[in-house]
Structure 1
Amino acid sequence: MPRNYSPLRGLAAAGATVHLKSTTVVELLDELDHLRAGCAKPAKVKRNDYPADFEAVWEVYPQRPGDSKKAAHKAWAARLAAGALVSELLAGAQAYAAFVKAMKTEPMYILHCATFFGPNERYADDWTPPEAQKKPTGGNWWATDASILAKGAELGLAPRSGEYMGQFKARIELAMDPGLAPPAATSPIRPAAVPPAQAQPEQRTRKPEGIGALKDLVRRDPPPARAA
């Protein structure tokens, strides 16, 4: 119940000084504090400048250090102005968030939200995780960043810190099984030409010369014995 201040006002009007008990002063101060608290203005609530549809997208989009919400909203609004649907953009953000989680992508490799909703329309890419994605029949694993990452995961590779996607693609090519590449054309092996053996000069029989040669002829062809 509010305090009756009429006696105090009368005392204040009668004299320049008013003597009050300490308990009365405490009661007056408590009531003054209560009145001030009731009249205080509520804290100003910060106004939300972004529409609820974008807030839903921003909530599910994977976090990347230094990502700009303002730039993301600008790109998001530009896609809507170009004819994209709110549900389409939200579905793309949800699919990419699931892909990042499945791939255990490091935050520094997550696309900026403004890039994701940029003119290249990355939100429309196929962000199906590789374990649930059918292998391409045409072998074009290098066609998109998503397919390159999927091929790297298949081979047990992941992008290194500071590595560009082109460098990561080159490492994948080096790590791929050589059996996946068509065999190189080979030519039949021809036996090396063997040079003909050098002809040895024909050795001629030396004709016997002198008495020694006659003796040799006699020994080989003795003359017929004479009849008695």
Structure 2
Amino acid sequence: MIYRPVSLCTFIRNASLPINTSLQSCIWECVYEDRCQTAVYFNDENVCSMFTESCNPNSIQSSGNTRATVICYGKNQGSTTICSSSISPNQAQTATTTTELTTVPAATTVMMTAIATSTSTLCPIVNCSVFPSFQNLPGKVQVESLNFSCSSSLADFSLIQMVQCNHGETYQNQGQTFSSRVMNMSFVQNPSNIIFTWYSLPGQIVDIQGFPYQTQGQFKFQGGGNARITTNDIWFMKVRSICGSIANYSGTF
């Protein structure tokens, strides 16, 4: 499968990623690019292409054998860039979806040690404890939750939970224990996965006094018996303390 944007002006930029990087890096590029609604991660080239265009199923077409993954983010659902010119076939940015999201390395516990970006000794490294869990409800409904606490108040917070759609999974609900004045949340449903997203609003502080916080993604599934396997479902969390220390965490349910 390849991805063809409708118009050339929806293209934002290409981000060259470090060698031996992962899909997660492209996801974060899109998360922190305000206009990004769709991204394409090219596995062999370590390139992340970003677009303002909402992820349109009609733009995903069958062709070629390029190893890449289409990321449907949709942070600003319902908005897109309208252009007067269309992309010709030889201009279109292409990406196959033969690489599934399950190729992202993930562990059941925290994978990465927090690394402070500030060189000042007055800004300690921010450390977070993250505890994933899941619950099976009647009617083949599953809830995946994250409980977490951090060692500092946060000036920025982003969390993505990705549910693999192997058994007809469909979105049901999404929740959080943050105040709606501090945190927003959204979701994207596509044939491959459900992407739940939480992100702090500009200028808002996630107060240390409020920890622990919890997020929940709820969905219904078909087949696979009464208990659905959750180890293919992954999460990514990025935090920045009020003094500038940054940490990344990821894992499975």
- TM-score for both structures, normalised by structure 1: 0.22
Looking at secondary structure, tell me which structure has more strand per residue: 2
Computing the radius of gyration from Cα coordinates, the structure with the larger value is 1
User: Could you say which structure has the greater relative contact order, defined with CA pairs below 8 angstroms and 6 or more residues apart?
Assistant: 2
Looking at secondary structure, tell me which structure has more helix per residue: 1
